[in-house]
Amino acid sequence: MAMRARFGVLVPAGNPTVEPELYRMAPSSVTIHFARLETLAGDPGAAEGMEQRTLGYLDSLPAATHSLSALHLDVVALAHTGVSYLTGHAREPALVDRLQGLAGTRAFTAARAIIAALRHLGVRRLGLGTPYPEAISVAGRAYWQAAGFDVVAYHRLDDVANIYEETEARAYALGRAADSADAEAVLISGTGLHTAGIVERLEHDLGKPVVTSQGATLWQALRLMGIPDAVRGYGRLLGS
């Protein structure tokens, strides 16, 4: 049996979404291995305390990354888009350098994967949908603008008590609300949202690419590992 590429993922401790979604979408040529980032700042996924909790995950990077080291991974991803927003686009290269030093291999953040995906698709004008509290959503808009994208449409999901309790139906509605005629693609931000099952339907309904944090993270990992497999059923990005 041929050796399969090994993909390591650092995920917030309370996130129940990213593991099953990546397993669901990944081709058989790759195995995925997870480590959880701990934080003591409140209820995982809750809007209250999310900023403090998000930045707190950075303190647990060394331990979480070390727990994966014996696997000799091909690539490691930090699967938390919001941490990039609060870090800021200009300061994120230092975070990626730190992550690569800890991992001892190639590493990237979910947000950097999204940047690469949007550029691959030729997107400059973006419709952005977020499930975060206002402060993180504002930081997210600033991040994408600093990365060189025009955020021509934006919608924040209303009445989110806990991001991890949101449904695919709510994620679909967020994508629809974040679109405009000027947007060349729609980005649904957040690895905590269930999005794997809605991307193709949303792309069909909107007539444009839809990029999600999970989809872009997997796509970037496959590229870095040199795996050419097209993944069908989850949108244009993974299917290309």
Question: Is residue 133 located within the same domain as residue 150?
Answer: yes
The pLDDT value recorded for residue 207 is 98
- Within a domain: 32: yes
Instruction: Compute the distance between CA of residue 195 and CA of residue 234 in angstroms, rounded to an integer.
Output: 9
Residues 42 and 83 grouped into a single domain:
yes
Mean pLDDT, residues 11-27: 94
Number of domains composing the chain: 2
Band the pLDDT of 39: cuts 50, 70, 90: confident
Question: Confidence band (pLDDT; 50, 70, 90) for 44?
Answer: low
Same-domain status, 122 and 78: no
Question: What domain range is 123 assigned to?
Answer: 114-213
Pairing relation of β-strands 106-109 and 75-78? parallel
Residue 129 and residue 87 share a domain? no
Quick: pLDDT tens for 202-215. 999 999 999 999 99
Q: pLDDT tier at 122 (50, 70, 90 boundaries)?
A: very high
Which CATH number covers residue 144?
A: 3.40.50.1860
Are residues 24 and 73 located together in one domain of the fold?
Answer: yes
Within this chain, do residues 9 and 105 fall inside the same structural domain, yes or no? yes
Same structural domain, 135 and 54:
no
pLDDT at 1 over 50: no
Report pLDDT for 37: 93
In a domain, 206, yes or no: yes
**For residue 14, what pLDDT is reported?**
86
Q: Are residues 200 and 123 part of one domain?
A: yes
Separation of alpha carbons 68 and 34, rounded Å:
8
Mean pLDDT, rounded, of the chain: 93
Helices 168-177, 199-206: axis angle to 10 degrees equals 30
Query: What is the CATH classification number for the domain harbouring 28?
Result: 3.40.50.12500
Q: Taking CA 190 as the corner, what is the angle to CA 232 and CA 228, rounded to the nearest 5 degrees?
A: 30
Instruction: Identify the band that residue 233 occupies on the pLDDT scale cut at 50, 70 and 90.
Output: very high
Task: Give all strands of the β-sheet with 75-78 in edge-to-edge order.
Answer: 30-37, 5-12, 75-78, 106-109
**Domain match, 201 and 218 both:** no
| 145-166: pLDDT as tens digits | 999 999 999 999 999 888 889 9
- Whether residue 93 is contained in a domain is answered as yes
Q: What is the pLDDT of residue 29?
A: 93
Judgement on whether residues 121 and 84 belong to the same structural domain of the protein = no
238 located within any domain: no
Tell me the three-class secondary structure of the chain, residue by residue: CCCCEEEEEEEECCCCCHHHHHHHHCCCCEEEEEEEECCCCCCCCECCCHHHHHHHHHHHHHHHHHCCHHHCCCEEEECCHHHHHHHCCCCHHHHHHHHHHHHCCEEEEHHHHHHHHHHHCCCCEEEEEECCCHHHHHHHHHHHHHCCCEEEEEEECCCCCEHHHCCHHHHHHHHHHCCCCCCCEEEECCCCCCCCCCHHHHHHHHCCCEEEHHHHHHHHHHHHCCCCCCCCCCCHHHHC
